[in-house]
Chain A
Amino acid sequence: MGKIIAIHSYKGGTGKTLFSVNLATTFALKGKKACLLDMDFRAPSLHAIFKVNNVECWLNDYLNGTCTIQKALVDLSEISGGKGKLLVGLANPSTEAIRDMSAKDRKWEMRALGRLLSLRNSVLDEMGMDYLIFDTSPGLQYSSINAIVSADLVFVISTIDASDVQGTKRMLCELYDLFEKKTYIILNKVLMDISSKRGKEELSERLGNTHTLPIFEIVPCFCDILKAGGTYIVAKEKPQHFFSKMLCHMTEKINHL
């Protein structure tokens, strides 16, 4: 039985897309079947990261009910060197499409939720994928909450910014808990050296009662990844990178959640 994972955050730019892409790629490199969907219709990015520009159908079309999910998925399994499977659903980056998606009414959002919920049957059961990953928009967006409601696991990526930590804590009890979701926090771009006692203390000082938070992983800020700015997929191009190793470890841990 496959797993559906939503990757969310309170603030923007915390690393959702970086984690979504590398998590899906790591799964594929390990011989698993992963499907990654760009649910960030306000600022699509997967088309740029995977360098795909012409598609038969966008994820927008699937949610509009004008195509099947199979038609909206691009097969990028070659990234895994034939080891596993990687299917990607892209959000339409045209200004017109972004405008269109932001003007949807509640009724449309309700139907979109139904279509996302039905992916468990079509993508996991029928197509036999092992993982379905949603990369979402930050904050309380319709598309993001739809993805969260449809998921089994939610990963919230937070930086150690005071406002980000506070917003993440609030979402834990006012969003994820209300939908009874298994939620885990990934602290990203952490600048303290957590291998030292001093660094650990500094971090928990910043976060406040850390022991009450479901922290899944603490990830440092990598200068080279920041510099590369999404021009290549770290897990694929640099398998020996500490970040790639962390992801490998995370995929193992996810299997036991």
Chain B
Amino acid sequence: MKKRDFSTKKSLLILEKIKESLEKLNQKMEVMIELQKHGKTDTENFADITAPLDVMTLLSMPDHLRKTAITVCRLGRATAEEVAQQTKRARAVESAYLNQLVLMGYLKKERQGRKAYFYVDKENKE
């Protein structure tokens, strides 16, 4: 009885791990599909989808993305480095979140020399 309990627990754990990995893979695939659809290899000039970054949208976002998004709203235009200084999180982390927000259509990304700037697109493009 005890032994069986142990083995079911173990297999549950393994299943959980597989599920996690699949979810991660799925997320990556979604990003790649989006990129493919738009014939781009980077999130640059990913201008086709735009979604307004209003407060109700901010409210419904996962906490980690909300923090990044609000910081960009406040700064107006910022690099991952500048956002990271405000949020006190790692630059690489902010960079990932910022690119995710670009993919979701909430932010725009623009390169200037070696730096990538993120900003909220306020132009009307309906």
**Contact residues in A for B126 (Cβ distance below 8 Å):** 107
From 103 to 128 in chain A, residues with beta carbon under 8 angstroms from any chain B beta carbon are 105-107, 109-111, 113-114, 117
Shortest distance between the CB of B68 and any CB in chain A (Å): 13
Tell me whether chain B's interface is mostly helix, strand or loop, or mixed: helix
User: Complex: how many Å from CA A146 to CA B52?
Assistant: 14
Q: Does A222 contact B (CB under 8 A)?
A: no
**Contact residues in A for B52 (Cβ distance below 8 Å):** 105-107, 109-110
**Contact residues in B for A36 (Cβ distance below 8 Å):** none
Count of inter-chain pairs, beta carbons less than 8 A: 47
In the complex formed, the residue of B with least CB distance to A144 is B55
User: Complex: how many Å from CA A99 to CA B66?
Assistant: 31
User: Complex: how many Å from CA A34 to CA B63?
Assistant: 33
Q: Does B7 contact A (CB under 8 A)?
A: no
Shortest distance between the CB of B40 and any CB in chain A (Å): 24
Shortest distance between the CB of A113 and any CB in chain B (Å): 6
Which of A105, A114, A142, A145 contacts B73, CB < 8 Å? A114
Q: Does A175 contact B (CB under 8 A)?
A: yes
User: Complex: how many Å from CA A180 to CA B68?
Assistant: 12
The answer to whether B63 touches A145, judged by C-beta atoms less than 8 angstroms apart, is no
Q: Does A247 contact B (CB under 8 A)?
A: no
The contact sample of 19 A-B pairs, CB cut-off 8 A, is A106-B52, A107-B52, A109-B52, A109-B56, A110-B53, A110-B120, A113-B54, A113-B55, A113-B73, A117-B74, A142-B56, A145-B56, A145-B59, A146-B55, A149-B55, A178-B59, A178-B66, A179-B66, A179-B70
